[in-house]
A and B are shown apart, each in its own frame.
Chain A
Amino acid sequence: MDVIHLDQVSFQYSKGFALREMSFRMQKGEVFALLGPNGAGKTTTIRLVNGLLNASSGSISVLGYDPYQNGVMVRSKTGVLTETPALYERLTALENLTFFGKLNGMNKTDLNKRIQELLDYFDLSSHANQRVGTYSRGMRQRLAIARALLHHPELLFLDEPTSNLDPEIARQVQELIVKVKKEEGCSVVICTHRLYEAEQVCDHAAIMHEGKLLAEGSLQELRDAAGLAKRVHFTFQKPCSAGLTTELAKLDSVKSAELQGEKELLLGVADYGRVPEILTWMVGKGLAILSVIPEVPSLEEVYFKLQGKDEVKQ
């Protein structure tokens, strides 16, 4: 079942188009990453999907509803971590969560129990009665995530969820995403610049640039769309001969060959299915192979390739 379906959706602010003919589908229980630089249209997409904005053209369906026409219904089933934590700094954590819980229709008993559970999980219990204005950036981000999860949403939107977090808490958030997906069947949309993190948790991703969708699909589909070479890393017991790469390059199944030191070789292959054929050839040549490791292009490589920047930025 599609939890989100965008069909040729465009949206125009007074300054110009923020989104142009955007289409994608997201399945129930998936973790879906929206990737792109600032101004790509990620936040506008979240606003449209939650019925805060009305699309200039195209159609949107969220959990079976038109979000602009049924905004209250849709938002009762979604939880959103906004780009900035958007917390009331003069109020305590407890007052913040109580306010948002009440407006999400939670009864007092369930709300108190859930607040305690989330404060414990995010290690904020001892600061529950402290004003949010006194919190560090990381604490605010954790509290904002707790707020998004408060009412057990069916669909969770996390805009840069791990920004401002130290590595330990960032890892905890990643684990939480997997946990809410598995245990609560929650579908999750993540907007992030941290491609490595997205790769760890997402099932599908959409890569956006200046309001346009560059590619969408599973990570494998994105790798295919980027047309990046499939690579295999070989380690040998003994040093290789200098002519090995020239001989390998003549094989149909090999796209490129590069020696990395004396005993290591990186091959670009047409298909991983043809690796056994290459192995047979190497064994026939008397090469003692210690390891064969396929090197899958990272999401970061795919992203920069699709954005038209071949170089992977660190």
Chain B
Amino acid sequence: MNLKHSFTIAQKDWLEVRQNKSTFIPILIVPLFFIVLIPLLFTLVIPNVAGGVEDFTTDPDMQNLFAAMPFEMKSVLNGLDSTQTMIVVALGYMFAPMFLIIPLMFSSTIAAESFAGEKERKTMEALLYLPISDQELFIGKVMAAGIPAILITWICFFLYTIIVNVVPYTIFGRFWFPLPVWWLLIFWVSPALIAMSISLTVLISTKAQTFQGAYQTSSAVVLVVVVLFIGQLTGVLFLSPVVALIMGLILWGIAAVIGRIGVRSFSRQKLLTD
């Protein structure tokens, strides 16, 4: 297998996505919202609004959440004042599952664009006539979606870390982020989610004829994030390092199974005859 071929395909896809502003701009707006606006809301706006912090920390639902928290989370909050508690709970704890939407959005958009998009624009056949193997073509498409999704997630994490440490520095007097679970979230759970999302998109794209069809179906993976977010809010599921580790393992397992089916479905003949 020649990985150079796969990389050339990925490069072409990146160039195409970059030129398609209608796809590119919406997927940039979401990270901007999550890594800039929400942190600024909790570190700049709410602490400076009269009663803002008290409203948050004395809310009955929040009180229930604090009561149900596992020991390791409570130990993080020990000794913090109410403003610091609000920031840590909101940005370090509750917001963690929502951050996973960023890699999901990127991977499913680019994967749907690069597989079903080629079919929709009738460019796939010219690609199939190239002297490259099915495997090289498949890896190229996976790289096209996977590499930017991982890179963007890491860049967003880096920027988020700077914002949530620097903006409220006068409140904490130290750098408080990232909490231990974030390392697992970014370097273990996110890649697993990306792998799962791409595998699912590939599988769907071999059948779907349009970008929209593939994108909408593969976006169902976002339910994982929603379930996690609701679990956190209601106190049913706490995203501790152990939970993140197990969750990552399960997601990698699912990704492996779907990926295997996806690889088997990906052949020139199937693409042309299904």
In this complex, the interface size class of chain A, counting residues with CB under 8 Å from chain B, is 20 to 34
- Find out whether the CB atom of A91 lies under 8 angstroms from the CB atom of B132: no
> Are the CB atoms of B131 and A47 closer together than 8 Å?
no
Given A52-B272, A99-B8; A104-B15 close (CB under 8 Å): no
A104 to B15, alpha carbons, bound, how many Å?
19
With known contacts A53-B269, A84-B122, A99-B12, A76–B129 Cβ distance under 8 A = no
Least CB distance from B92 to A in Å reads 40
| B223 close to A (CB within 8 Å) | no
CA distance A52 to B268 in the complex (A): 6
B127 to chain A, nearest CB (A): 8
Q: Is A45 in the interface zone, CB < 8 Å from B?
A: no
Does A312 interact with chain B (Cβ within 8 Å)? no
Q: At the interface, yes or no: B20 with Cβ under 8 Å from chain A?
A: yes
Q: How far is the CA of A236 from the CA of B108 in the complex (A)?
A: 79
Is B121 in contact with chain A by the CB < 8 A criterion? yes
CB-based closest 4 A-B pairs: A86-B126, A76-B131, A90-B19, A75-B131
* A14 & B123 in contact (Cβ 8 Å cutoff): no
How many angstroms between the C-alpha atoms of A73 and B128 in the bound complex? 13
Give CA–CA (A53, B129) in the complex, Å: 11
A88 CA / B5 CA spacing, docked (Å): 17
Q: Which residues 115-144 of A sit at the B interface, judged by CB distance below 8 A?
A: 131, 144
Flag whether B61 is at the interface (Cβ < 8 A): no
The distance from the CB of B175 to the nearest CB of chain A, in whole angstroms, is 42
Residues of B contacting A76 in the complex (Cβ-Cβ under 8 angstroms): 131
Which B residue sits closest to A90, measured CB to CB?
A: B19
B9 within 8 A of A: yes
B154 to chain A, nearest CB (A): 27
Cβ distance B267 to chain A, nearest Cβ, rounded Å: 9
A103 touches B (CB below 8 Å): yes
Given A86-B126, A86-B127, list of 4 further CB < 8 A pairs? A72-B131, A89-B121, A103-B5, A131-B19
A102 contacts across to B, CB distance below 8 A: 8
B65 to chain A, nearest CB (A): 47
Instruction: Specify which chain B residues have a CB less than 8 angstroms from the CB of A90 in the assembled complex.
Output: 15-16, 19-20
**When each residue 101-127 of chain B gets 1 if its CB lies under 8 Å from chain A and 0 otherwise, what string results?**
000000000000000000001111111
Q: Are A86 and B8 in contact (CB under 8 A)?
A: no
- CA A52 to CA B126, docked complex, whole Å: 11
B15: chain A residues at CB < 8 Å are: 90-91, 95
Contact A82 B132 (CB under 8 A): no
How many angstroms from the CA of A73 to the CA of B124 in the assembled complex? 20
A103 close to B131 (CB less than 8 A): yes
B130 at the interface (CB under 8 A from A): yes
Given contacts A88-B16, A91-B16, contact A50 B129 (CB under 8 A): yes
Contact check, B123 vs A52: say whether CB atoms are below 8 A apart: no
Select B126's contact among A71, A95, A147, beta carbons within 8 Å.
A147
Q: Determine the chain A residues whose CB is within 8 A of the CB of B129 once the complex forms.
A: 50, 52, 75, 78, 80, 82
A84 (CB) vs chain B CBs: closest residue: B122
Most chain B Cβ neighbours within 10 Å, of A50, A52, A53, A89? A52
The interface residues of chain B lying within 8 Å CB-to-CB of A86 are 122-127
For the complex, give the distance between the alpha carbons of A142 and B233 in Å.
60
Q: Please tell me if the beta carbons of B16 and A100 are within 8 angstroms of each other in the complex.
A: no
Contacting pair A54 B132 (CB below 8 A): no
Q: Which residues of B from 11 to 28 have beta carbons under 8 Å from A?
A: 12, 15-16, 19-20
